[in-house]
């Protein structure tokens, strides 16, 4: 169980995840342990993160890595995503993995990479792994057990902090960190700290994918604390003043009565 999030940015891509893994007997969870390797960077260019079975995640990462080595990414975003999805489905079903009628595969992933010198973020959905390329209109995504908490929160972040447009990498780092922490605080199990983030951006004229160290997350956390502080200040002071100064609305006419005139 996990929560993973991603954002297509005006100057790159940010992908994030929590650090909790669940060990279980089939679909019955038994214990939860910290996992710091949910996000993988391949060749300093490709970011891969997944939700679901760890074994399937390892196999999916191998398929993405082989696709990168065999220059499948050079064929363009759509063909690359379709090829990875087809190989993953074939690989999974060859060992007896099946797509249940109700839940599908119950495994999904995101891949970020520079394709034709453009940062591309592709979601492989948890039902049948069909790839979806993120665009300016739909520039963020959340998946996993914490999706029900992260998804609406990301919609709020996109509207309020990002003006419903592609954010910068810096703004996305703050927003995704905030969304993951929100899911960690309120999800009823299966999602846990610490937050992990990876970015794809230009460095010295070349696209480079890197995992952010814990120290690099201190600044986003400071921004989050300041935003929450200002919201709290407005709620306690701004709304109180507005309520005190605004005249009460006139009572609504009662049904069956007539106004004097």
Residue 230 to residues 94, 162, 163: CA-CA distances in angstroms? 54, 17, 18
Q: For the ranges 143-157, 185-199, 242-256, which has the lowest average pLDDT? A: 242-256
Of 143, 184, 245, nearest in space to 19 by CA: 184
Strand order of the β-sheet with 131-133 is 39-42, 46-51, 108-115, 118-124, 131-133
Residue 239's pLDDT band (cuts 50, 70, 90)? low
Structure tokens, 34: 């910290």
Give residue-wise pLDDT tens across range 16-65: 999 887 554 445 544 455 566 899 999 999 999 999 888 899 999 999 99
Share of the chain above pLDDT 70, in %: 85
Q: Give the helix ranges, DSSP H, for the chain.
A: 54-69, 77-94, 147-160, 169-186, 218-233, 239-245
**For the chain, what are the domain ranges?**
3-212
Give residue-wise pLDDT tens across range 68-96: 999 999 999 999 999 999 999 999 999 98
Q: Per-residue DSSP letters for 149-171? A: HHHHHHHHHHHHTSTTSPPPHHH
Examine the pLDDT at 103 and tell me if it is beyond 70: no
Identify the sign of the CA torsion 204, 210, 214, 217.
positive
Region 153-174: mean pLDDT is 97
Of 131, 34, 153, 129, nearest in space to 73 by CA: 131
Identify the sign of the CA torsion 224, 226, 231, 236.
positive
CATH class, range 3-212: alpha beta
């Amino acid at each position: 169980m996990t929560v993973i999030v991603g954002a297509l940015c005006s100057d790159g891509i940010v992908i994030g995840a929590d650090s909790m893994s669940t060990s279980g007997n089939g679909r019955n969870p038994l214990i939860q342990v910290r996992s710091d390797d949910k996000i993988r960077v391949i060749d300093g260019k490709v970011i891969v993160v997944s939700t679901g079975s760890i074994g399937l995640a390892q196999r999916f990462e191998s398929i993405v890595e082989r696709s990168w080595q065999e220059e499948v990414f050079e064929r363009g975003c759509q063909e690359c995503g379709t090829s990875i999805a087809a190989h993953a489905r074939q690989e999974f079903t060859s060992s007896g993995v099946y797509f249940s009628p109700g839940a599908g595969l119950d495994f999904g992933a995101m891949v970020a990479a520079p394709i034709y010198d453009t940062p591309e973020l592709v979601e492989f959905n948890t039902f049948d792994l069909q790839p979806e390329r993120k665009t300016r209109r739909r520039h963020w995504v959340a998946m996993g057990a914490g999706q029900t908490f992260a998804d609406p929160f990301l919609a709020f972040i996109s509207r309020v902090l990002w003006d419903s447009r592609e954010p910068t990498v810096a703004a996305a780092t703050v927003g995704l960190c905030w969304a993951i922490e929100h899911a960690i605080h309120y999800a009823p199990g299966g999602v846990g700290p610490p937050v992990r983030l990876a970015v794809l951006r230009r460095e010295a004229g070349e696209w480079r994918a890197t995992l952010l160290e814990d120290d690099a997350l201190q600044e986003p956390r400071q921004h989050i604390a300041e935003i929450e502080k200002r919201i709290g200040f407005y709620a306690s002071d701004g709304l109180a003043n507005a309520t005190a100064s605004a005249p009460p609305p006139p009572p609504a006419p009662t049904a069956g009565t007539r106004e004097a005139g």
